[in-house]
Structures are given as structure tokens and as C-alpha cells.
Amino acid sequence: MKMKPEQLQQIKQLVRNVPDFPAKGIQFKDLTTVFKDADALRLVGQALAEPYRDKDVTKVVGIEARGFIGGSILATELGAGFVPLRKPGKLPAITIKKSYTKEYGVDTIEIHKDAITPDDVVLIHDDLLATGGTMLAAYELVQTMNPKKVYVNFICALKELGGLEKFPPEVEVTTLFDF
């Protein structure tokens, strides 16, 4: 389902701006205000899934924590499995990890070593793209598992931060809207 422009504008207006979070000078875009609205959540889930309905996605990887929300919805919409990508020490079995620099520090993400196979077509999801550090690390981590194909998507992107330019040209990246 493609969202109508007026629906997209209504969703965008639901996003709350939180100044100086998590650090001074950062204007945090809080999508929990979208998630708590049942109609908005349903519309976002359907619109996020639309570009991938014919791409044979077998696994959706959601990035901790807000990426779990959209990622789970995407997995359900696409008839795919869901794989959590988490902070260190949160997954119970053997993991592989990747450290990366983000806009306010260094972080590490982990995924179960057996979560993705070479037969998988993977869609990695997070709610928002800022500088791209987290998603690029997620993309590189998933690529080490040799899936058939990897797609990347977000609900929204902070275009002026240049995160989209960090991905190799062969990576299909989609967003519903930009700020």
C-alpha cells in the first residue's frame, strides 16, 4: 500500500522533536509518538513493506531498540522471520559483532552467528537514519554472513546528516520520508 501524500504528512507531524537528547546539541526525532497511534502504526507498517513484497525477503533484521518495532511489523507483513540485532551481552547464544562510530560515541552491535544463511534475502530495518553509522555497521555485519541479497530501510532520514551517502551504490535504501 502506497501512502497518500496527506497520510504521509500526518505521520510526519506525529514525530516529536526532543532537543538536547541524548546529548546537548542533538535534535532527537522521537517516533514513539507515531508508534502509539494505532492507525499511524498500521499505515507505516504497510507502507514500509510495500517496496519489498515481490523481493522474496526471508529475514528482517531489526536494530535495537526502536528497529524491533518496525522490523517485527515488516517481518509479519512480508511473511519473513525476524532477527534482532542487539547491544553486546543481550543475545544468549554465540554471536558475531561489529564496533562503529556514531554521532555521539562508539558502540558495538551483535547478531547470533546462525541467524542468517546464504539462502536468505535480508531486509535490515531501523526507525531513523541519522549519520548512518549504526546501519552501515549492521549492513557490514550481515554481509559477513553471505546472504543472497541485503536491503536497507527506515521510516525516516535526517537528510542533512548525509547518512544515505555512506552506503555502497549497490545497496537499495528506502525511507518513507525525510527531515
Tell me if residue 140 is catalytic: no
The SS3 call for residue 25 is: coil
Q: Which of 16, 50, 86, 103 is catalytic?
A: 103
Tell me if residue 42 is catalytic: no
Backbone phi, then psi, for 106, in 5-degree steps? -110, 140
Q: What is the DSSP string of 50-101?
A: GGGTTTT--EEEEETTHHHHHHHHHHHHHT-EEEEEB-TT--SS-EEEEEEE
Pair 3, 43: CB distance under 8 Å:
yes
Q: Which of 6, 66, 165, 172 is catalytic?
A: 66
Pair 159, 131: CB distance under 8 Å:
no
Catalytic machinery residues: 66, 103
